[in-house]
Amino acid sequence: METEHRAVTVGEYTFDVEIGGPERGNWVLLLHGFPVGGICYRDVVPRLHESGLRTIVVDQRGYSPGARPLEVEAYAIEHLVADAIGVLDALSVPYALLVGHDWGGLVGWQLAARYPDRFTGYVAVSTGHPSATRDSLASGDQRQRSSYIKTFVQQGAEDNILADDGKMLRNFGVTTDELAPLKVPGALTAALNWYRANMTGDIKTKMACPPVEIPTTLVWSDQDPALGREQADLTSRYVYGEYRLCVLSGVDHWVPQHAAPALASEIALRSAVF
Protein backbone atom coordinates (compact mmCIF):
# COMPACT_ATOMS: atom_id res chain seq x y z
CA MET A 1 0.00 0.00 0.00
CA GLU A 2 1.45 3.35 -1.05
CA THR A 3 2.15 6.15 1.40
CA GLU A 4 1.54 9.83 0.73
CA HIS A 5 4.04 12.54 1.57
CA ARG A 6 2.63 15.70 3.07
CA ALA A 7 4.25 18.93 4.16
CA VAL A 8 2.44 19.76 7.40
CA THR A 9 2.71 23.30 8.77
CA VAL A 10 2.71 23.80 12.53
CA GLY A 11 3.30 27.41 13.53
CA GLU A 12 6.40 28.66 11.76
CA TYR A 13 7.69 25.19 10.87
CA THR A 14 6.93 22.64 8.16
CA PHE A 15 7.23 18.94 8.91
CA ASP A 16 7.75 16.09 6.45
CA VAL A 17 5.03 13.53 7.13
CA GLU A 18 4.24 10.18 5.51
CA ILE A 19 0.63 9.02 5.70
CA GLY A 20 -0.70 5.66 4.57
CA GLY A 21 -3.00 2.77 5.27
CA PRO A 22 -6.71 2.07 4.92
CA GLU A 23 -8.84 5.20 4.72
CA ARG A 24 -11.05 4.04 7.59
CA GLY A 25 -8.22 2.58 9.67
CA ASN A 26 -7.51 3.73 13.20
CA TRP A 27 -4.67 6.25 13.32
CA VAL A 28 -1.18 5.43 14.59
CA LEU A 29 1.36 8.22 15.20
CA LEU A 30 4.98 6.98 14.99
CA LEU A 31 7.84 9.07 16.40
CA HIS A 32 11.49 8.25 15.63
CA GLY A 33 14.58 8.63 17.77
CA PHE A 34 18.25 9.61 17.26
CA PRO A 35 19.82 9.71 14.74
CA VAL A 36 17.50 8.10 12.17
CA GLY A 37 14.34 9.90 11.04
CA GLY A 38 10.97 8.43 10.21
CA ILE A 39 12.57 6.05 7.70
CA CYS A 40 13.36 3.78 10.66
CA TYR A 41 9.75 2.57 10.45
CA ARG A 42 9.88 1.62 6.78
CA ASP A 43 9.54 -2.11 7.50
CA VAL A 44 6.98 -1.63 10.28
CA VAL A 45 4.48 0.55 8.41
CA PRO A 46 3.43 -1.97 5.71
CA ARG A 47 2.65 -4.53 8.40
CA LEU A 48 0.49 -2.02 10.25
CA HIS A 49 -1.40 -1.29 7.03
CA GLU A 50 -2.01 -5.01 6.63
CA SER A 51 -3.48 -4.97 10.13
CA GLY A 52 -5.94 -2.29 9.07
CA LEU A 53 -4.16 0.64 10.72
CA ARG A 54 -3.55 4.08 9.21
CA THR A 55 -0.13 5.54 9.93
CA ILE A 56 1.40 8.98 10.42
CA VAL A 57 5.22 8.99 10.41
CA VAL A 58 6.75 12.38 11.24
CA ASP A 59 10.29 13.59 10.67
CA GLN A 60 10.45 15.58 13.88
CA ARG A 61 11.98 18.94 14.73
CA GLY A 62 15.53 19.11 13.39
CA TYR A 63 15.00 16.15 11.06
CA SER A 64 12.55 17.94 8.76
CA PRO A 65 14.55 20.62 6.88
CA GLY A 66 11.61 23.01 7.25
CA ALA A 67 11.66 22.62 11.03
CA ARG A 68 15.30 23.15 11.89
CA PRO A 69 15.73 26.14 14.24
CA LEU A 70 19.26 27.20 15.14
CA GLU A 71 18.82 27.85 18.86
CA VAL A 72 19.57 24.95 21.22
CA GLU A 73 16.69 25.90 23.51
CA ALA A 74 14.26 25.44 20.61
CA TYR A 75 14.73 21.67 21.07
CA ALA A 76 13.50 21.53 24.66
CA ILE A 77 11.15 18.61 25.12
CA GLU A 78 8.08 20.80 25.58
CA HIS A 79 8.55 22.04 22.00
CA LEU A 80 8.95 18.48 20.69
CA VAL A 81 5.73 17.50 22.47
CA ALA A 82 3.89 20.53 21.09
CA ASP A 83 5.04 19.64 17.56
CA ALA A 84 3.41 16.21 17.75
CA ILE A 85 0.12 17.62 18.98
CA GLY A 86 0.35 20.32 16.31
CA VAL A 87 0.74 17.72 13.56
CA LEU A 88 -2.32 15.83 14.76
CA ASP A 89 -4.29 19.08 14.91
CA ALA A 90 -3.17 20.12 11.43
CA LEU A 91 -4.30 16.74 10.06
CA SER A 92 -7.61 16.94 11.99
CA VAL A 93 -6.81 13.69 13.79
CA PRO A 94 -8.66 13.75 17.12
CA TYR A 95 -6.86 10.77 18.64
CA ALA A 96 -4.37 8.06 17.69
CA LEU A 97 -2.38 5.15 19.02
CA LEU A 98 1.08 6.48 19.92
CA VAL A 99 4.41 4.79 19.14
CA GLY A 100 7.86 6.18 19.99
CA HIS A 101 11.37 4.73 19.73
CA ASP A 102 14.46 6.03 21.54
CA TRP A 103 14.11 9.84 21.78
CA GLY A 104 10.71 9.48 20.17
CA GLY A 105 9.90 7.28 23.13
CA LEU A 106 10.82 10.04 25.58
CA VAL A 107 8.61 12.48 23.69
CA GLY A 108 5.95 9.79 23.68
CA TRP A 109 5.97 9.36 27.46
CA GLN A 110 5.36 13.09 27.86
CA LEU A 111 2.54 12.99 25.31
CA ALA A 112 0.91 9.95 26.92
CA ALA A 113 1.11 11.52 30.39
CA ARG A 114 0.06 15.06 29.47
CA TYR A 115 -2.44 14.44 26.66
CA PRO A 116 -4.20 11.18 27.60
CA ASP A 117 -7.35 12.28 25.75
CA ARG A 118 -5.47 12.33 22.44
CA PHE A 119 -4.13 8.77 22.55
CA THR A 120 -5.88 5.40 22.77
CA GLY A 121 -2.70 3.73 23.97
CA TYR A 122 1.08 3.95 23.89
CA VAL A 123 3.81 1.63 22.61
CA ALA A 124 7.19 2.81 23.88
CA VAL A 125 10.18 1.19 22.20
CA SER A 126 13.48 0.84 24.10
CA THR A 127 13.04 3.90 26.35
CA GLY A 128 11.25 3.33 29.62
CA HIS A 129 9.38 5.99 31.57
CA PRO A 130 11.71 8.95 32.34
CA SER A 131 11.24 8.42 36.08
CA ALA A 132 12.29 4.79 35.70
CA THR A 133 15.42 5.91 33.84
CA ARG A 134 16.13 8.41 36.63
CA ASP A 135 15.81 5.64 39.21
CA SER A 136 18.04 3.28 37.25
CA LEU A 137 20.80 5.88 37.01
CA ALA A 138 21.18 5.68 40.77
CA SER A 139 22.12 1.98 40.69
CA GLY A 140 23.12 -0.77 38.31
CA ASP A 141 24.84 -0.08 35.01
CA GLN A 142 22.56 2.53 33.42
CA ARG A 143 24.87 5.43 34.26
CA GLN A 144 27.68 3.72 32.35
CA ARG A 145 25.33 2.88 29.48
CA SER A 146 24.35 6.54 29.24
CA SER A 147 27.90 7.89 29.36
CA TYR A 148 27.93 8.46 25.57
CA ILE A 149 25.65 11.46 26.13
CA LYS A 150 28.62 13.44 27.45
CA THR A 151 30.23 13.06 24.03
CA PHE A 152 27.07 14.17 22.20
CA VAL A 153 26.62 17.43 24.12
CA GLN A 154 30.21 18.61 23.72
CA GLN A 155 31.07 21.47 21.41
CA GLY A 156 32.39 20.06 18.15
CA ALA A 157 30.69 16.70 18.62
CA GLU A 158 29.49 16.88 15.02
CA ASP A 159 33.02 16.63 13.64
CA ASN A 160 33.87 13.68 15.84
CA ILE A 161 30.68 11.82 14.96
CA LEU A 162 31.05 12.33 11.21
CA ALA A 163 34.80 11.62 11.17
CA ASP A 164 35.92 8.68 9.05
CA ASP A 165 32.59 8.64 7.18
CA GLY A 166 30.55 8.49 10.36
CA LYS A 167 32.44 5.55 11.82
CA MET A 168 31.15 6.22 15.36
CA LEU A 169 27.51 5.83 14.32
CA ARG A 170 28.21 3.04 11.86
CA ASN A 171 29.88 1.09 14.66
CA PHE A 172 26.68 1.54 16.67
CA GLY A 173 24.62 0.07 13.83
CA VAL A 174 23.52 3.06 11.75
CA THR A 175 23.60 2.16 8.06
CA THR A 176 25.17 4.23 5.29
CA ASP A 177 21.73 5.14 3.93
CA GLU A 178 20.52 6.21 7.38
CA LEU A 179 23.67 8.25 7.89
CA ALA A 180 23.34 10.22 4.63
CA PRO A 181 20.71 12.79 5.80
CA LEU A 182 22.93 13.72 8.76
CA LYS A 183 25.64 14.92 6.39
CA VAL A 184 23.45 17.80 5.18
CA PRO A 185 24.81 21.01 6.76
CA GLY A 186 23.03 21.69 10.04
CA ALA A 187 21.21 18.36 10.23
CA LEU A 188 23.43 16.60 12.75
CA THR A 189 23.66 19.74 14.89
CA ALA A 190 19.87 19.86 15.03
CA ALA A 191 19.69 16.19 16.02
CA LEU A 192 22.31 16.65 18.74
CA ASN A 193 20.46 19.69 20.04
CA TRP A 194 17.84 17.31 21.43
CA TYR A 195 20.56 16.17 23.85
CA ARG A 196 21.99 19.63 24.45
CA ALA A 197 18.62 21.14 25.27
CA ASN A 198 17.39 18.34 27.54
CA MET A 199 20.40 16.41 28.86
CA THR A 200 22.40 19.30 30.35
CA GLY A 201 21.78 21.45 33.42
CA ASP A 202 18.86 20.45 35.64
CA ILE A 203 18.00 17.26 33.75
CA LYS A 204 15.74 15.98 36.52
CA THR A 205 13.45 18.99 36.19
CA LYS A 206 13.64 19.18 32.40
CA MET A 207 12.68 15.53 31.91
CA ALA A 208 10.18 15.22 34.77
CA CYS A 209 7.15 13.26 33.59
CA PRO A 210 3.88 12.38 35.35
CA PRO A 211 2.71 8.78 35.55
CA VAL A 212 0.87 7.44 32.51
CA GLU A 213 -2.71 6.26 32.81
CA ILE A 214 -3.49 5.09 29.27
CA PRO A 215 -2.91 1.45 28.19
CA THR A 216 0.82 1.07 27.57
CA THR A 217 3.32 -1.42 26.16
CA LEU A 218 7.09 -1.18 26.53
CA VAL A 219 9.05 -3.12 23.91
CA TRP A 220 12.63 -3.58 25.13
CA SER A 221 15.43 -5.60 23.54
CA ASP A 222 18.00 -7.43 25.63
CA GLN A 223 21.00 -6.58 23.41
CA ASP A 224 20.48 -2.82 23.68
CA PRO A 225 23.80 -1.32 24.82
CA ALA A 226 22.33 2.09 25.71
CA LEU A 227 19.18 1.22 27.66
CA GLY A 228 19.35 -1.51 30.28
CA ARG A 229 16.88 -3.96 31.80
CA GLU A 230 16.50 -2.03 35.05
CA GLN A 231 14.90 1.04 33.44
CA ALA A 232 12.57 -1.34 31.58
CA ASP A 233 11.57 -3.23 34.73
CA LEU A 234 11.05 -0.07 36.79
CA THR A 235 8.71 1.43 34.22
CA SER A 236 5.76 -0.52 35.61
CA ARG A 237 5.86 1.73 38.70
CA TYR A 238 4.93 4.72 36.56
CA VAL A 239 2.13 3.27 34.42
CA TYR A 240 -1.21 3.26 36.22
CA GLY A 241 -3.17 1.93 33.26
CA GLU A 242 -3.05 -1.57 31.78
CA TYR A 243 0.63 -2.36 31.11
CA ARG A 244 2.70 -4.92 29.24
CA LEU A 245 6.48 -5.37 29.01
CA CYS A 246 7.60 -7.19 25.86
CA VAL A 247 11.22 -8.38 25.92
CA LEU A 248 12.82 -9.16 22.56
CA SER A 249 15.65 -11.65 22.89
CA GLY A 250 18.79 -11.22 20.77
CA VAL A 251 17.73 -7.84 19.32
CA ASP A 252 19.88 -4.72 19.51
CA HIS A 253 18.83 -1.08 20.01
CA TRP A 254 17.41 -0.70 16.49
CA VAL A 255 14.12 -2.46 17.14
CA PRO A 256 12.09 -0.84 14.30
CA GLN A 257 14.72 -1.86 11.74
CA HIS A 258 15.79 -5.24 13.13
CA ALA A 259 12.58 -6.56 14.69
CA ALA A 260 9.88 -5.01 12.52
CA PRO A 261 7.50 -8.02 12.57
CA ALA A 262 7.59 -8.28 16.37
CA LEU A 263 7.15 -4.53 16.85
CA ALA A 264 4.29 -4.37 14.36
CA SER A 265 2.58 -7.24 16.19
CA GLU A 266 2.85 -5.41 19.52
CA ILE A 267 1.45 -2.21 17.97
CA ALA A 268 -1.45 -4.10 16.42
CA LEU A 269 -2.12 -5.83 19.73
CA ARG A 270 -2.18 -2.53 21.59
CA SER A 271 -4.45 -1.00 18.96
CA ALA A 272 -7.09 -3.60 19.78
CA VAL A 273 -7.52 -2.21 23.31
CA PHE A 274 -9.59 0.72 22.09
Res 273: pLDDT: 56
For 235, phi then psi, to 5°, come to: -60, -30
pLDDT band at 274 (very low <50, low <70, confident <90, very high): very low
For the chain, list the domains and their CATH numbers. 3-271 (3.40.50.1820)
Q: pLDDT digit string (tens) for 150-206?
A: 999 998 999 999 999 999 999 999 999 999 999 999 999 999 999 999 999 999 999
139 — pLDDT class (breaks 50, 70, 90): confident
Long-range contacts of 172-179 (CB under 8 A, 24+ apart): 172/225, 172/253, 173/252, 173/253, 173/254, 174/35, 174/36, 178/35, 178/36, 178/39, 178/40, 179/35
C-alpha pair distances (Å), 45 with each of 39, 82, 234, 256: 10, 24, 29, 10
Helices 187-198 and 77-90: crossing angle in degrees, nearest 10, is 120
In the DSSP assignment, the letter for residue 29 is E
Q: Are 214 and 116 in contact (CB under 8 A)?
A: yes
Tens-digit pLDDT profile for residues 116-137: 999 999 999 999 999 999 999 9
Query: 155 or 229: whose pLDDT is higher?
Result: 229
Q: Is 244 helix (H, G, I), strand (E, B) or coil?
A: strand
Nearest CA among 49, 39, 48 for reference residue 18:
39
Strand order in the sheet with 243-248: 3-10, 13-20, 53-58, 26-31, 96-101, 119-125, 216-221, 243-248
Question: 211-228 pLDDT, tens per residue?
Answer: 999 999 999 999 999 999
Report CA-CA distances (Å) from 182 to 203, 262, 274. Answer: 26, 28, 37
Span 244-266, mean pLDDT?
A: 98
Give bridge partners of residue 18 from the DSSP assignment.
Answer: 5, 57
Q: Is the pTM of this model over 0.85?
A: yes
Q: How many helices (H) and strands (E) would you count in the chain?
A: 13, 8
Residues 28-85: pLDDT tens digits? 999 999 999 999 999 999 999 999 999 999 999 999 999 999 999 999 999 999 999 9
Nearest in space to 260 (alpha carbons), one of 110, 23, 103, 39: 39
- Above 80 in pLDDT, residue 1? no
Question: For the chain, where are the E strands, in sequence order?
Answer: 3-10, 13-20, 26-31, 53-58, 96-101, 119-125, 216-221, 243-248
Mean pLDDT of 136-141: 90
Which pLDDT belongs to residue 140?
Answer: 84
In three-state secondary structure terms, 35 is coil
